[in-house]
Structure formats: C-alpha cells, structure tokens
C-alpha cells in the first residue's frame, strides 16, 4: 500500500535517511522504533506529503485513505468534543455536510426551479451516507470517546476547555472514527490512563487496515504489532515479529557482527604483521604484494554501533524507620466531590505500592497527601522516623526555570556541589556535551522529565513518590529506569499506566474504587491474576 523507495533526507545539517527503503502492506501492523531524533516523525510527515524526501520517493496506492495522528493537535475550541470527532471522520463528514445543504435547499423557496435536480442529488447523497453508516456516526463517535474515558459531560462540553492531554484524545478519536485504510499513529499511548490504553489496544487489534505506529509503551506495542521497522543511522531495517522479538534479534545480530568484526580484525592484524615483517625482503616481494592487494579488496566489517542509553545510578539511601507513612481517618474533598472519607493506609519500609484506580478515584490526590503537597480536611498523615521523601509529580516539569540552562538549573538546586559531580549527573541522564547549555524552555517533555528526576536522585531519598514517572520517556530510557529502581532499596509509592513498569517494580497494590478500597499483597502481576482484570475500570 505504501512503498518507501531509497529515500534520503537531511534536516538542518543532520542526515536522517540515506537510501532507506521499507514497505507497509495491506493489513500489516508495524511498530516504528528508533532513538529520539532518528526521524520517526519526519518519516510520518513524508508519507503524508507534509515533507518531501531529498532523494528517492514514497508512493501510496491509488484511493488509499490515510489517517495521521501526531502530538501536534492544533487549536480546538468552540465546538463539542463529539462534533470535533465527527468532523474528522473522513468522507462521511463531507457527505453529511452536503446532505445538510441539500435539506436546506429543499425548503428554500428561491430554489423551486432546481427542485427536481436537488431531490435527485439528495437521493444519491443519502444512499452514499447510508452506505457509510452515517446515521450511526454520532453513536460511534460517542462509543470511541467513551473508550478513551470521556464522560458524557466532557463529550458535550466545549473542547476548548479541555487540557492538552484530553485534546490529544479528541484528535486520536477523530482518526479512530475515520477508520482509514492506513493509520499512522505517533505516540497514541501518551496521555492515556490504563483503561483507555487497554481499550485502544483492543480497537487496534480488531482494526483491519494497515497500521504504522510509534509508542514508548513496550507492552502496548507487543500486543499489537507483528513487524518492526527500525530507524538506525539513516537506514530502515525490517524485523518480522513483535518488539520483544526485535530486541532479541537485534542483540543477536549485534553479537554476530561483533564476532565477525573481531575475526576480521585478527585476520587483518596477521596479514599486516606478515607484510611489515617481510616487505624489505626481495625473496618475499611477490607474497607481500599479493597480500597488500588482497587487503585492498577486502570489504571491511564495521563494529556494531553502540547505542547511547541513559544510566540511572542510585547511591545507597539512608535507612528509614519501619513505618514510613501512616494515614489515619483521612477525609479529602474538592468542592462537592468527596475523594476520601475516613481513609486509612499504612506503608512500611521497602514496600513498593502501585496505586490503581479509574480517573477521579484519587490516585494523584493520595500521592499529594503523602508528599505533603496537599493537606487532609480531617485526619492525619504521619511521616515516619528518618524518612526522606522524593516526589516526582505529573507537573514536576513546571518547576524548571525556562531562562536557565540545564547546568545553571542544576547549580541553583545544588549550590554546594562541584561542577564535576553535576556534569557527571547531567551526563548520566542524557545531557552530554553542549546539551547542558540548552535553555530549559527548549527541552522536550522527555528531557524535562529526565532533568527533574536527575535532581531528585542526586541526593537520594529513601521514600520515592512517583506520579506517572515514565511519561515522555523513550523505551530505552524507561528500561534503564526500571533496572535502576529494581535495585533501589528504599520504599516506593507510585502511579503508572505502563504495565511493564507496574509488573517489574510493585510488590503491593492499592486499588481505589469509590468507597471500595482493596489492598493486594502481591505486585501488579499477582493483582491481575487475583482480580481477573488489568485495570479497575474494566470491571465497573
């Protein structure tokens, strides 16, 4: 359906693609992977015609419709979420518009002389509208929005009043309702809660069109895609299988390439040693010349490229008391909405609690209460002896001063630390070389999250409170964080929609569901086995 043929593309002195080729065939579900800045979004834009390759071409079969969801959703206001979604439904929305125009024309006394033609055209358009299931359009739009966790009130309210994350869901719903022949989805799993993520997963598995998507959610990717296209150093490499298979295959390929490289280097060293030893001897001149020619003709094996990954290293945190935090008889309300009533909860040393609950259940509120960022209306929150709290909030990035560079901000946070330790810290979190001179205002969401996390872990706490810590982190960075936190000996309380993160790090689960509060002694994997669902909202 879509063929990428020997494309080359440069962007501001940076080469993104060199004679790269790949294909997206009918019904295929492909994950597009590569490090940040490799050119994933540029490839999407070239497929949709928003950008052109410098060389080569991207061809799409005739009459193939393409729906493209990007992180740049544009302005939305003045209409309801439902209307906004229906407007993006492709051909059916334009047919609906013509149908409304014809209905107005049929009751227009000034157009009586055209009535036969109008009625004839109305019949044709109405048949096409029925063929496209136009009459079911609104109900389908509401079904998609409900799947993405919209309430009826939010569906009918002004889309302009929604947050950026919810507007992204509206933009995603437009593409899903459209059901084009090809969907290009750039990070559709961002900003989704776990219930919405699982609903979207099922929707895409049942979608019979072709799909090319990026995602920083490993589990989401693994459950949907059957092929991976990797962007690496300007080339496109296709792997048959899910993301897990791709990782194994890539590691195996790199191992084989390293072995080939080492064998060739040993052979070259042996040949060069012979040449150096006998080049001055006339008796060996023919042999030396022969080996020199042989070396000139050998195609050199390159060593595998070493990927730059962020290394999180936790210094040992001081030991806390056995009772880390104790909530007793806590009441908390926002206006008329009661979040907690007579709520009690105890966290003990080295427990790793993940908090589950639908939107509005009070997950972030609980973390704020424990971190001291909110106070209970009644009851008490008592932090235990020798407990040092580190709190990563969803909006932690707002703490950054946009006028400061990365390094200047770290210096203001840790005025007594030397330049050396701070540069080392910045390097561990992916800010090397000139990156430390970037102004905070120009950092991407992922860079801001890494910087705030670096500051939090420079002087490590023994109690980590993390609210969606993996948002904006790419797959490699997320994996490094998981490995580092697995070795962390402190206590954790966290909210995450990433099932890999939940399964790898939790050893307790707190499920909030209105007045129902359930505690599960095992981690997220045991919670799924015991409860029979992956997220609380799936059984409501």
Per-residue pLDDT, 142: 93
Whether 346 has a pLDDT exceeding 60, the answer reads: yes
Which contacts qualify for 245-252: CB closer than 8 Å, 24 or more apart? 246/31, 246/33
Burial 50-69 (b: 16+ CB within 10 A, else e): ebebeebebebeeeeebbbb
Q: What gap in Å lies between CA 175 and CA 329, rounded to an integer?
A: 46
pTM for the model: 0.83
Q: Using alpha carbons, list the distances in angstroms from residue 81 to 166, 190, 192.
A: 10, 19, 17
Structure tokens at 227: 């092929």
The residue written with tokens 């799409």 in the block is 60
Q: What gap in Å lies between CA 444 and CA 431, rounded to an integer?
A: 12
Per-residue pLDDT, 423: 87
- Residues contacting 168, CB < 8 A, separation 6+: 71, 73, 190, 191
Structure tokens at 53: 């390759």
Per-residue pLDDT, 540: 44
Chain segment 161-187, per-residue pLDDT in tens: 998 889 999 999 999 998 899 999 999
Looking at mean pLDDT, say which of 290-299, 339-348, 478-487 comes out highest. Answer: 339-348
Q: What gap in Å lies between CA 108 and CA 130, rounded to an integer?
A: 24
Asked if 187 and 216 touch (Cβ cutoff 8 Å), the reply is yes
The mean pLDDT of 66-88, rounded to a whole number, is 85
The residue written with tokens 């990365």 in the block is 406
- Residues contacting 198, CB < 8 A, separation 6+: 534, 535, 538
Q: What gap in Å lies between CA 486 and CA 57, rounded to an integer?
A: 46
Percent of the chain at pLDDT > 70 equals 97
The mean pLDDT of 305-319, rounded to a whole number, is 70
Comparing C-alpha atoms, which of 235, 234, 168 is closest to residue 14? Answer: 234
Q: Identify which has the larger pLDDT, 470 or 54.
A: 54
Per-residue pLDDT, 310: 57
Q: Which ranges constitute the DSSP H helices of 438-540?
A: 445-458, 475-486, 499-505, 524-531
Q: Identify which has the larger pLDDT, 91 or 127.
A: 127
Q: What gap in Å lies between CA 267 and CA 263, rounded to an integer?
A: 6
Chain segment 112-135, per-residue pLDDT in tens: 888 999 999 999 999 988 887 788
The mean pLDDT of 475-498, rounded to a whole number, is 89
User: What strands lie across the sheet with 14-24, from one edge to the other?
Assistant: 14-24, 2-11, 55-60
Comparing C-alpha atoms, which of 367, 401, 391, 360 is closest to residue 381? Answer: 367
Phi, psi of 92 (to 5 degrees): -65, -35
Q: Using alpha carbons, list the distances in angstroms from residue 266 to 10, 279, 287, 301, 304.
A: 37, 20, 19, 12, 17
Q: What gap in Å lies between CA 37 and CA 11, rounded to an integer?
A: 10
The mean pLDDT of 210-222, rounded to a whole number, is 95
Q: Using alpha carbons, list the distances in angstroms from residue 437 to 14, 405, 425, 432, 434.
A: 19, 5, 14, 9, 5
Q: Identify which has the larger pLDDT, 158 or 316.
A: 158
Pairing of strands 508-513, 352-357: parallel
Choice among 29-33, 57-61, 293-297, 494-498 with the minimum mean pLDDT: 293-297
Q: What gap in Å lies between CA 538 and CA 524, rounded to an integer?
A: 15
Q: What gap in Å lies between CA 335 and CA 122, rounded to an integer?
A: 51
The mean pLDDT of 238-254, rounded to a whole number, is 93
Asked if 322 and 349 touch (Cβ cutoff 8 Å), the reply is yes
Comparing C-alpha atoms, which of 70, 123, 134 is closest to residue 97? Answer: 134
Q: What gap in Å lies between CA 398 and CA 409, rounded to an integer?
A: 13
Per-residue pLDDT, 90: 64
Q: Identify which has the larger pLDDT, 12 or 128.
A: 128
Comparing C-alpha atoms, which of 198, 221, 197, 199 is closest to residue 211? Answer: 221
Count the alpha carbons within 13 Å of 9 in the hemisphere toward its beta carbon: 29
The mean pLDDT of 274-297, rounded to a whole number, is 87
With bands split at pLDDT 50, 70 and 90, how would you rate the model's confidence at 303? confident
Task: Output the average pLDDT for the chain.
Answer: 90
The mean pLDDT of 379-389, rounded to a whole number, is 96
The mean pLDDT of 204-226, rounded to a whole number, is 95
The mean pLDDT of 487-514, rounded to a whole number, is 94
Structure tokens at 254: 């790199």
For 119, the 3-state DSSP assignment is helix
Chain segment 412-467, per-residue pLDDT in tens: 999 988 888 888 888 877 787 788 999 999 887 778 888 888 888 787 899 999 99
The residue written with tokens 């005025």 in the block is 415
Per-residue pLDDT, 30: 98
- Strand pairing partners for 331? 378
The mean pLDDT of 40-46, rounded to a whole number, is 95
DSSP for residue 302: P
């Amino acid at each position: 359906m879509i063929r990428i043929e020997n494309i080359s593309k440069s962007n501001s002195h940076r080469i993104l693609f060199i004679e790269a080729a790949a294909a997206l065939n009918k019904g295929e579900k492909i994950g597009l992977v590569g490090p940040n800045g490799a050119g994933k979004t540029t490839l999407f834009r070239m497929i949709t015609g928003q950008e052109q390759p410098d060389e080569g071409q991207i061809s799409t079969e005739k009459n193939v419709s393409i729906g493209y969801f990007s992180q740049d959703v544009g302005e939305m206001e003045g209409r309801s979420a439902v209307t906004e979604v229906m407007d993006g439904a492709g051909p059916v929305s334009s047919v609906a518009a013509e149908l409304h125009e014809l209905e107005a024309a049929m009751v227009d006394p000034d157009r009586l002389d055209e009535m036969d033609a109008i009625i004839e055209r109305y019949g044709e358009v109405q048949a096409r509208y029925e063929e496209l299931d136009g009459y079911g359009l609104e109900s389908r739009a509401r079904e998609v929005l409900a799947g993405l966790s919209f309430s009826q009130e939010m569906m009918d309210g002004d889309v302009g009043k929604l947050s950026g994350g919810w507007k992204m869901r509206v933009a995603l719903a437009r593409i899903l309702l459209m059901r084009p022949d090809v969907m290009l989805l750039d990070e559709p799993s961002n900003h989704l809660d776990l219930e919405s993520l699982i609903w979207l997963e099922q929707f895409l598995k049942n979608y019979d069109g072709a799909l090319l998507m990026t995602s920083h959610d490993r589990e989401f990717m693994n459950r949907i895609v059957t092929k991976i296209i990797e962007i690496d150093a300007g080339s496109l490499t296709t792997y048959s299988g899910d993301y897990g298979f791709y990782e194994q295959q890539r590691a195996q390929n790199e191992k084989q390439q390293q072995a080939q490289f080492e064998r060739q280097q040993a052979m070259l060293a042996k040949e060069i040693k012979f040449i150096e030893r006998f080049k001055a001897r006339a008796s060996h001149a023919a042999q030396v010349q022969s080996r020199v020619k042989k070396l000139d003709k050998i195609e050199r094996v390159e060593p595998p490229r070493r990927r730059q990954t962020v290394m999180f290293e936790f210094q040992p945190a001081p030991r806390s008391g056995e009772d880390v935090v104790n909530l007793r008889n806590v009441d908390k309300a926002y206006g008329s909405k009661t979040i907690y009533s007579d709520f009690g909860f105890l966290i003990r040393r080295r427990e790793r609690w993940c908090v589950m609950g639908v939107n509005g259940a009070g997950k972030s509120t609980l973390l704020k209460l424990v971190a001291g960022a909110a106070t209970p209306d009644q009851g008490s929150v008592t932090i235990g002896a020798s407990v040092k709290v580190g709190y990563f909030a969803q909006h932690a990035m707002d703490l950054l001063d946009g006028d400061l560079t990365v390094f200047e901000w770290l210096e203001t946070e840790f005025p007594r630390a030397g330049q050396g330790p701070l540069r080392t810290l910045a390097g561990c979190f992916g800010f090397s070389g000139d990156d430390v001179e970037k102004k905070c205002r120009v950092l991407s969401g992922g860079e801001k999250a890494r910087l705030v996390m670096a500051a939090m872990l420079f002087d490590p706490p023994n109690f980590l409170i993390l609210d969606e810590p993996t948002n904006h982190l790419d797959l490699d960075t997320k994996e490094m964080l998981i490995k580092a936190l697995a070795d962390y000996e402190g206590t954790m309380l966290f909210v995450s929609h990433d099932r890999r993160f939940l399964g790898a790090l939790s050893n307790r689960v707190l499920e909030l569901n209105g007045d129902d509060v359930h505690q599960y002694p095992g981690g997220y994997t045991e919670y799924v086995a015991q409860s029979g669902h992956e997220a609380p909202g799936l059984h409501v």
